[in-house]
A and B are shown apart, each in its own frame.
Chain A
Amino acid sequence: MGRFIVRRLALMVIALWVVVTVTFFLAHMIPGGPFDREKPVPEAIKKNLEEKYHLNEPMWKQYLLYLNDIIHGDLGPSFKYPDRTVNDIIKESFPVSAQLGFWAVLMATFVGISLGSVSALHQGELIDSFSMFFAILFISLPSFVIAPIFQYIFGVKLHWLPVANWGSWKHMILPALSLALGPTAVIARLTRASMLEVLSNDYVKAARARGLSGLRVLIVYALKNALIPVVTYLFPLIAAIFTGSFVVEKIFNIPGLGRYYVTSIYNRDYTVILGVTVFYAAFLILMNLLADITYALLDPRIRYE
């Protein structure tokens, strides 16, 4: 277990380093440099930026200084909003994204696992065909397609829920649903496949032959084992929900980090794009690491490797 985590941790650090390095060099590849744009930058800001990015220093030194900043968690200033740093933006807007993401993850997990198990237990029956048809349908609908459709139907046409903006729990339903439906479908399919595989295992047959109750066989033997791959998928799922939030937050005008990210892409606010990219990358890589550790915790064969 210890060795396993150390190996994964090393992989994570390398991946993070690769992202930071790629980010740095891509930033320097931007034609004409990141800060020479059509309109001249105020002198004070330019100075600030040059200081921040040490633009007068040789490239290798700039790189090392940049690495040093990142290690200390300093992601630099915004180019468009000079009075704010990327750290400020994240601190302010990430909690909003996290709240939205939390509900979406919760919904996707709960509904997905339930639907998947029920389908597996009724393989080939109407409920199975029905839920699997909807699963494949929602897998084929990206969140940026679902979101405006929901907005139109439930907001514009039916007036059941607010069309956009952020505030009460009512504002959360449509965006969370848009984010959750795809992952719900993926989890349902994954659970079903995993469950069917486990159900065909000898140890399930043997448990039934020992006369254990149906419920016990289902939960302790089938569901528990079937959920291992599902739980490990949970973290990549969180990643998927957060990248989905880029567009959904934009569509519903939610002041989360995703909307800031997309806005800064529209505005070509390079320093924010780079800083937030590094932040998201670190977040997603961390999720990957958590997935690996969970897997090791759930499956004793890996734990004692």
Chain B
Amino acid sequence: MALLEVRNLQTYFFTYAGVVKAVDGVSFSVDRGEVLGIVGESGSGKSVTAMSIMRLVQQPGKTVGGEIIFDGINLLNLSDREMNAYRGKRIAMVFQDPMTSLNPTLTVGYHMMELLSRDPNLKTKKDKIDRAIELLKAVGISEPEKRLSQYPYQFSGGMRQRVMIALAIALNPDLLIMDEPTTALDVTVQAQIMELVKEIQEKYHMAVIFITHDLGVIAGFADRVMVMYAGKKVEEGDVYSIFENPLHPYTQALLSAVPKLDMDRSQRLYAIPGSPPNMIAPPPGCRFHPRCPYAMRICAKKIPIAAGTDNREVYCWKVFKEMGVVEGV
């Protein structure tokens, strides 16, 4: 049984301009020790999916349908108190902007000790301090003893993200959700943090959901990739087949938007035409069809149904047609 199984998740935002279906019927699963990458443009619903799993969607948003089965239990049925016991301990999360994710008026040590006091194995204060130091070392922070008494603003962005990761793994969670953890960082720091994340994942063998808008970032890290567009899943598969043979026109477009080293200089980088859809009144049928070079009449009329083989799922009428399921067309 998968560690996490999300079924037909629906999280809507009830704004006064209308209902935004930020996540509209998305299903996926993550096994123990597996790394799932969720890729999409901003507004595709990938962060809202993460917040829905944590049950931290804020007003005016609300998860209105679906199931989130974690280790056999539907998180959506838990009381607030029961859910709180899962957060940090069994499911942890790292956010996008390390500059604002730590309380500016508390020391880094305070953040850590506060969390470690929930670990029943750490009885004395010294146990906790030792563990905090061990964690900071594990995420590559030098002079951890000194760093504990410092305030967040005395840390650089990359260092803060390391602290956030240390906090996330402090209670040995089964699942770690990372929401664009490198986006706000410098390119060189990005690479270091990715190295660290890989190292930690291998060492502790955690399941990871890694959210990004940049397919390139997770190429060497994820086991499987799920691509989202406008609140819906458009394609899912193992990382090799997605990169080798992207089927959905949107995935193809995303991949050709990633610059490659072997690219001819005269070649122009591909940009997806058009802009992301208005989420209050999304396009009918396939939400990508206004920007799709292969759009057919059916694409504007009907929501695509799943096509593909085992371990591969694509929601695209073009792929569906090429599979030859419907005779004569």
Binding site for B on A (CB under 8 A): 123, 201-203, 205-214, 216, 220-221, 224-225, 228, 298-301, 304
Contacts and interface: CB of A to CB of B under 8 A. Distances in A.
Contacts of B100: 201-203
A201 to B, nearest CB: 6
Main secondary structure of the interface of A (DSSP, over half): helix
B104 A208 contact: no
B244 interface: no
A221 B103 contact: yes
Nearest to A303: B151
Contacts of A207: 103
A220 B56 contact: no
Given A211-B84, A214-B84, A202 B101 contact: yes
A213 B104 CA distance: 19
B92 A210 contact: yes
Contact of A300 (B104, B114, B118): B104
Contacts of A221: 103
Contacts of A212: 84, 88, 114-115
A220 B111 CA distance: 11
B103 to A, nearest CB: 5
B87 A205 contact: no
Contacts of B151: 300-301, 304
Interface centre among A202, A203, A209 (most CB of B within 10 A): A209
A211 B85 contact: yes
A203 B92 CA distance: 14
A209 B93 contact: yes
B153 A301 contact: yes
Given A209-B56, A300-B151, A214 B101 contact: no
Contacts of B223: none
Contacts of A209: 54, 56, 87-88, 92-93, 95
Given A212-B114, A299-B105, A205 B56 contact: yes
A225 B101 CA distance: 14
A206 B80 contact: no
A77 B53 CA distance: 75
B88 A210 contact: yes
10 contacts: A202-B100, A206-B93, A210-B87, A210-B168, A211-B86, A214-B80, A225-B104, A225-B105, A228-B105, A304-B154
Contact of B105 (A216, A224, A304): A224
B102 interface: yes
B167 interface: yes
A206 B163 CA distance: 12
B134 interface: no
B80 A300 contact: no
A216 B93 CA distance: 19
Interface string B71-100: 000000000100011111100110101001
A224 B106 CA distance: 10
B230 interface: no
A301 B54 CA distance: 31
Nearest to B106: A220
B84 A213 contact: yes
A202 B47 CA distance: 13
B164 interface: yes
Interface in B28-71: 54, 56, 58-59
A51 B168 CA distance: 76
Contacts of A214: 80, 84
A203 B103 contact: yes
The 6 closest A-B pairs by CB, nearest first: A211-B87, A211-B88, A210-B88, A202-B100, A209-B93, A206-B101
A203 B101 contact: yes
Interface centre among B89, B100, B103, B106 (most CB of A within 10 A): B103
Contacts of B105: 224-225, 228, 298-300
A220 B117 CA distance: 15
